[in-house]
């Protein structure tokens, strides 16, 4: 939240024309996160955060731009050869040799699979 507020002054709490403090950063960021995490519409989020739909949509757009701008260089970049080797090594240590970026591990035996789910995903391609 601090990084987003420092990047875009839209998220910083301000006074309205009457001098009263208005929306706090948490409200605007929570609205954006609800829409992203749960696929909620602005109509659904406005009941939770008590913000108007236009403000929610503006918050979402500005939040996404801020996150992209702040974190692209470090986290949203293509992995280097060194990153790739580190990921391969971590995967091998965890029992998944040669696996990079795949979350489809249905062919591996589940050691602590709930008995009700046993065999459910075993033969999926």
Token duo for residue 102: 């795949």
Under a CB-based contact definition with an 8 Å cutoff, are residues 60 and 29 in contact?
A: no
pTM of the model: 0.64
Same domain, 61 and 87: no
Same domain, 59 and 95: no
Question: Would you state the pLDDT for residue 9?
Answer: 92
Chain centre to alpha carbon of residue 61: 14
> How many residues are there in the chain?
125
Same domain, 59 and 102: no
Mean pLDDT, contiguous 10-residue spans, the chain (125 residues) = 94 90 92 91 87 93 95 84 88 81 56 63 56
**Where in the sequence is the domain holding 102, given as residue range(s)?**
81-117
Question: Would you state the pLDDT for residue 110?
Answer: 57
Question: Would you state the pLDDT for residue 55?
Answer: 92
Distances in whole angstroms, Cα of residue 121 to Cα of each of 94, 108, 111, 118: 21, 10, 14, 8
Chain centre to alpha carbon of residue 15: 30
Token duo for residue 39: 């696929």
Q: Compute the distance between CA of residue 33 and CA of residue 49 in angstroms, rounded to an integer.
A: 11
Question: Would you state the pLDDT for residue 116?
Answer: 64
Query: What's the burial of 63, exposed, middle or buried (CB within 10 Å: 0-12/13-18/19+)?
Result: buried
Q: Compute the distance between CA of residue 78 and CA of residue 124 in angstroms, rounded to an integer.
A: 30
Same domain, 51 and 13: yes
Number of structural domains found in the chain = 2
Token duo for residue 26: 């948490």
């Amino acid at each position: 939240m601090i990084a987003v507020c420092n990047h875009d002054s839209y998220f910083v709490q301000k006074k309205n024309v009457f001098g009263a403090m208005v929306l706090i950063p948490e409200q605007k960021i929570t609205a954006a996160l609800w829409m992203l995490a749960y696929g909620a519409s602005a109509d659904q989020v406005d009941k939770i955060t008590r913000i108007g739909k236009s403000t929610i949509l503006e918050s979402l757009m500005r939040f996404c731009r801020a996150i992209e701008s702040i974190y692209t260089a470090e986290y949203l970049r293509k992995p280097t050869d060194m990153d790739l080797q580190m990921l391969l090594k971590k995967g091998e240590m965890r029992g998944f040799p040669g696996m990079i970026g795949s979350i489809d591990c249905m062919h591996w035996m589940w050691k602590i699979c709930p008995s009700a789910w046993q065999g459910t995903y075993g033969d999926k391609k």
